[in-house]
């Protein structure tokens, strides 16, 4: 369990650094494009496509990160029915398990799309990137990371069921 959480935290830090750099790069690229068009009078037409790819990566890396920081929007209105305790923890357990399954299924299917999407490529970038690197791969990698994260929460929850002082909500892996 210790090693599992350590691995996920390291993975989360890597996602955080990569995605933050992409955000800064996106801002710079789009600004430079405006400068080129307005001041220099010629357009950098690859920026639109390049920034879109960066955005898609930021989204799925960010989603994986949001799982590790426990930030995804959850509606907890019904949870109030259960008093804190075993039944509440079991309810939460079901939710965590479902996320693991959903993320794993999507990861599996998106991997299946990598070959199909690789048939067409980006058009305006200086190098032609297969469309799978725009669509299937960021989704697949993000979902693997999410599945692992919620598997950890699930296991942590199971352990807490048998420990004194039940805590139903996952303790976030990362405090950001």
Cα three-residue angle 132-134-139, rounded to 5 degrees: 80
Our measurement of the distance from residue 66's CA atom to the centroid of its chain's CA atoms, rounded to an integer in Å, reads 7
Among 8, 12, 89, 138, binds another protein (CB under 8 A): 138
Among 4, 5, 104, 117, binds another protein (CB under 8 A): 117
Task: Choose one: 2-10, 130-138, 157-165; the region binding another protein (CB under 8 A).
Answer: 130-138
By CB under 8 A, the residues from 47 to 86 that bind another protein are 48-49, 51-52, 55-56, 58-66, 69, 71-79
Least separation in angstroms between CB 4 and another protein: 21
Among 119, 126, 162, 165, binds another protein (CB under 8 A): 119
| Other beta carbons less than 10 A from residue 95's beta carbon | 16
**Residue 166 sits in the site that holds another protein (CB under 8 A):** no
Rounded to whole angstroms, the Cα distance separating 61 from 126 reads 24
Q: Which residues contact 50 (CB under 8 A, 6 or more apart)?
A: 29, 125
Least separation in angstroms between CB 165 and another protein: 20
C-alpha distances (whole Å) from 161 to each of 8, 15, 87 are: 22, 31, 10
Q: Which residues contact 57 (CB under 8 A, 6 or more apart)?
A: 18, 19, 22, 138
Least separation in angstroms between CB 41 and another protein: 7
Residue 169: CA count within 13 A, CB half-sphere: 15
Among 10, 14, 87, 94, binds another protein (CB under 8 A): 94
- Using the minimum distance from each CB to another protein, give the nearer residue, 37 or 155: 37
**Residue 172 sits in the site that holds another protein (CB under 8 A):** no
By CB under 8 A, the residues from 144 to 163 that bind another protein are none
Least separation in angstroms between CB 24 and another protein: 5
């Amino acid at each position: 369990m210790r090693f599992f959480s350590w691995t996920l935290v390291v993975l989360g830090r890597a996602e955080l650094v990569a995605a933050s750099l992409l955000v800064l790069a996106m801002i710079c690229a789009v600004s430079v494009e405006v400068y080129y068009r307005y001041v220099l009078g010629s357009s950098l037409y690859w920026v639109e496509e390049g920034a879109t790819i960066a955005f898609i990566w930021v989204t799925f890396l960010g989603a994986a990160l949001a799982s590790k920081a426990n930030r995804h929007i959850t509606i907890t209105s019904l949870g109030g029915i259960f008093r804190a305790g075993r039944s509440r923890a079991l309810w939460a357990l079901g939710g965590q398990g479902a996320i693991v399954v959903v993320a794993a299924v999507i990861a599996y299917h998106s991997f299946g799309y990598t070959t199909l999407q690789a048939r067409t490529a980006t058009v305006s970038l200086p190098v032609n990137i297969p469309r799978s690197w725009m669509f299937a791969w960021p989704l697949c990698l993000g979902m693997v990371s999410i599945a692992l994260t919620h598997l950890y929460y699930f296991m942590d929850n199971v352990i807490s069921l048998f420990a004194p002082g039940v805590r139903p909500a996952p303790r976030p892996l990362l405090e950001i």
